[in-house]
């Protein structure tokens, strides 16, 4: 029986792409599972700037995320930002919203509308990055609405044959929602930082990878013009 080969989407991490024979399978829903101290945003920046991408910002204004990409000498010009932070926290005058009991649900409607417009307007290859999915999972809405978003992103990746990256913060959510995300994900990046003597060491693995051989061992990395694998432990 003939096995259909899907297109590979590069991550922008050179040695990882070499190990994966080109990158991640198109149509993948990817969970970047990490504690914030491990700088998972550097991975998200790398994924977003390797090709045309839509970057949903939640915890900071988009202009500051772009600024950080530029500082790492990554090509932010290929990125279209969807500023969820501004939409959720600020009113039309740029002032912080003090109280609005409807805004938690309304932000899901806004995301649904933006995703629909992206699908309608796009015809080529592109990525979508959610920084972070945890923002939405932490909102005061019904469990069903949170699961709707997870399922929508998963189906969008499949139907449009694109890669969707979502950052899920470790040790923040109830086990049921963490397991839901990890179960449905095609790819899981597990990113950690640990203390080694007088210094901290950052490392990552890709223990779940549908369609290719997972990268089960951890590899050290540092952030300098994007994510760089420690060549003393080359994964290629």
Separation CA 61–CA 82 (nearest Å): 10
13 three-state secondary structure: coil
Listed in sequence order, the residues at least 6 apart from 144 whose beta carbon sits closer than 8 Å to its beta carbon are none
Q: What angle do CA 35, 95, 45 make, to 5 degrees?
A: 30
Asked if the structure places residue 216 within a domain, the reply is no
Q: What percent of the chain has pLDDT over 70?
A: 95
C-beta separation of 84 from 54 below 8 A: no
Q: What is the CATH number of the domain that holds 94?
A: 3.40.50.300
Give the domain extent around 55: 26-184
- What is the domain count for the chain? 1
Asked if the structure places residue 137 within a domain, the reply is yes
Write the DSSP assignment of 178-193 as a string of letters: HHHHHHH-SEEEEEEE
171 three-state secondary structure: coil
Asked if the structure places residue 165 within a domain, the reply is yes
Bond preceding residue 168 cis, omega within 30 of 0:
no
Asked if the structure places residue 217 within a domain, the reply is no
Determine how many CB atoms are found less than 10 A away from the CB of residue 184. 15
Read off the pLDDT of residues 53-103 as tens digits, 9 standing for 90 and up: 999 999 999 999 999 999 999 999 999 999 999 999 988 777 788 778 789
Read off the pLDDT of residues 90-111 as tens digits, 9 standing for 90 and up: 887 777 887 787 899 999 999 9
Asked if the structure places residue 230 within a domain, the reply is no
Element (H, E) at 141: none
Separation CA 56–CA 218 (nearest Å): 28
Asked if the structure places residue 198 within a domain, the reply is no
User: Which residue, among 7, 44, 39, has the nearest Cα to 25 in the 3D structure?
Assistant: 7
Asked if the structure places residue 13 within a domain, the reply is no
Asked if the structure places residue 88 within a domain, the reply is yes
Listed in sequence order, the residues at least 6 apart from 60 whose beta carbon sits closer than 8 Å to its beta carbon are 85
User: Which residue, among 129, 143, 127, 135, has the nearest Cα to 180 in the 3D structure?
Assistant: 143
User: Which residue, among 6, 56, 39, has the nearest Cα to 200 in the 3D structure?
Assistant: 39
Read off the pLDDT of residues 129-158 as tens digits, 9 standing for 90 and up: 999 999 999 999 999 999 999 999 999 999
Q: What is the pTM of this model?
A: 0.94
In which band, very low, low, confident or very high, does the pLDDT at 233 lie, cut at 50, 70 and 90? low
Listed in sequence order, the residues at least 6 apart from 162 whose beta carbon sits closer than 8 Å to its beta carbon are 9, 26, 27, 125, 126, 127, 128, 156
């Amino acid at each position: 029986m003939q096995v259909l080969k899907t297109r590979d989407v590069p991550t922008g991490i050179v040695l990882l792409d070499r190990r994966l024979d080109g990158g991640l399978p198109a149509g993948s829903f990817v969970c970047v599972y990490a504690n914030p101290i491990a700088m998972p945003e550097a991975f998200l920046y790398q994924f977003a700037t390797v090709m045309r991408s839509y970057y949903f910002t939640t915890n900071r204004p988009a202009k500051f995320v772009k600024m950080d990409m530029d500082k790492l000498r990554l090509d932010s010009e290929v990125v279209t930002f969807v500023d969820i932070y501004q939409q959720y926290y600020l009113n039309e005058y740029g002032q912080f919203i003090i109280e609005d009991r409807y805004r938690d649900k309304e932000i899901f409607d806004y995301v649904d509308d933006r995703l629909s417009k992206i699908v309608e307007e796009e015809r080529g290859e592109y990525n979508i990055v959610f920084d972070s999915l945890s923002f939405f999972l932490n909102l005061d809405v019904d469990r069903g609405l949170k699961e709707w978003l997870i399922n929508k992103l998963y189906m969008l990746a499949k139907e449009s044959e694109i890669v969707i990256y979502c950052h899920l913060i470790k040790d923040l959510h109830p086990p049921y929602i963490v397991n839901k995300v990890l179960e449905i994900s095609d790819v899981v990046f597990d990113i950690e930082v640990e203390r080694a003597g007088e210094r901290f060491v950052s490392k990552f693995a890709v223990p779940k990878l549908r369609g290719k051989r997972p990268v089960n061992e951890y590899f050290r990395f540092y952030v300098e013009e994007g994510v760089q694998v420690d060549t003393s432990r080359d994964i290629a």
